Amino acid sequence: MDNDPKHTSKSTIEDLKRKHIIMTSMFYSASILYIYAFYSVETGTLPSDEAQMLTVMSQQVDDIWNTILIGIPIKNNPDNNTYGICNLQPNPKLNASEAKITGQVLFRQPYPNGKLEAHFNVEGFPLNHSESTRAVHIHNFGDLSNGCDSTGGHYNPFSVNHPQHPGDFGNFIVQDGKIQQRLTHLHATLFGPYSVFGKSIVVHKMADDLGKGDNQASLENGNAGTRLACCVIGSSSKTSWDKFTTSTKDS
């Protein structure tokens, strides 16, 4: 047996390089298949057998992205749903006079082809601002090191204008100091390369102008103003979903 530490170290490095090349090639190929399958099936350009085969392949690619790259156990609930939660905290960079917003945003999505559903339970708004409108969006980074300012801009993986970003949830009406609302059939997803796990949610002080303002900021963030509260989206369980969604109304 060769016990030369230099030889052992060199062999280890070469082995790691080979594994890196194999993994890189696998994910590159899988990504191509995912994109090919998605657009071919959506446009109806494949025979049904091939379309079904590629749909299955795209689901398997989602499995790889979620379990290996993102580390999310997609089948950890017996009801075949994947759950997420975001626990809102006030932006520590704000003046003391600003509202202290807290609450939860919860997500549920049936695996592998279901649409995302979200429940918003947000509180802390001034009671004298009842019926006011506030914007809520998904932002690019799950980084709260500088309060909500370090979450970056809107999550925009397809480089489109606001309000077409997958996390542009629109406006919410405050009633009795709270937002309690449910949204369904959302464009954001918990699965695959565009998963919002690890992204952030930001509650803004103003309403979203929905891209109708006469400036560039309108097409980037809807001129929604100060970031009042934020959180990072993480994986969750059905228990949390059931606990926090009982009093949320549909929208």
Q: How many other CB atoms are there within 10 angstroms of residue 138's CB atom? A: 24
pLDDT of residue 137: 98
62, 108, 154, 208: the catalytic one is: 154
The structure's pTM equals: 0.73
User: In this predicted model, which residue has the larger pLDDT, 102 or 35?
Assistant: 102
Asked if pLDDT for residue 18 goes beyond 60, the answer is no
* Dist CA 111 CA 234 (whole Å): 17
Rounded average pLDDT over 60-81: 66
Q: What's the whole-number average pLDDT of the chain?
A: 83
| Nearest partner of 198 among 77, 105, 84, 104, judged by Cα | 84
62, 108, 119, 168: the catalytic one is: 168
Predicted confidence band of residue 6 (pLDDT cuts 50, 70, 90): very low
108, 119, 134, 162: the catalytic one is: 162
Q: Does the annotation count 162 as an active-site position?
A: yes
Predicted confidence band of residue 47 (pLDDT cuts 50, 70, 90): low
The DSSP H or E segment spanning 105 is strand 102-110
Q: Does the annotation count 204 as an active-site position?
A: yes
108, 165, 208, 209: the catalytic one is: 165
How buried is residue 64: exposed, middle or buried, by Cβ count under 10 Å (0-12/13-18/19+)? middle
- Name residues whose C-beta falls within 8 Å of residue 188's C-beta, 6 or more positions apart in sequence: 116, 138, 155, 166, 167, 196
| Nearest partner of 118 among 155, 168, 162, judged by Cα | 168
* Dist CA 197 CA 166 (whole Å): 13
Residues 105 and 88: beta-carbon distance below 8 Å = yes
| Nearest partner of 151 among 215, 221, 47, 83, judged by Cα | 221
pLDDT of residue 38: 54
* Dist CA 89 CA 102 (whole Å): 5
Q: Are strands 133-139 and 200-204 parallel, antiparallel or unpaired?
A: antiparallel
DSSP class of residue 96 equals: T
For 242-251, write each residue's pLDDT tens digit.
Answer: 998 876 655 5
Token pair 């932002």: residue? 139
Q: Does the annotation count 20 as an active-site position?
A: no
134, 137, 208, 209: the catalytic one is: 137
Highest mean pLDDT: which range of 24-33, 34-43, 129-138: 129-138
Q: Does the annotation count 139 as an active-site position?
A: yes
Query: For the residues of 109-127, what is the DSSP string, one character each?
Result: EETTTPPEEEEEEEE---G
For 97-118, write each residue's pLDDT tens digit.
Answer: 999 999 999 999 998 789 999 9
Start-to-end CA span in the chain (Å) = 69
Highest mean pLDDT: which range of 24-38, 58-72, 192-206: 192-206
| Nearest partner of 233 among 161, 177, 163, 166, judged by Cα | 166
pLDDT of residue 111: 84
Rounded average pLDDT over 132-146: 97
pLDDT of residue 71: 56
Q: Does the annotation count 137 as an active-site position?
A: yes
62, 204, 208, 209: the catalytic one is: 204
Asked if pLDDT for residue 8 goes beyond 60, the answer is no
Rounded average pLDDT over 155-170: 96
139, 176, 208, 250: the catalytic one is: 139
Of 15-19, 48-52, 61-65, 68-72, give the lowest mean pLDDT range: 15-19
Q: Does the annotation count 187 as an active-site position?
A: no
* Dist CA 235 CA 73 (whole Å): 9
108, 119, 134, 227: the catalytic one is: 227
Predicted confidence band of residue 48 (pLDDT cuts 50, 70, 90): low
Predicted confidence band of residue 235 (pLDDT cuts 50, 70, 90): very high
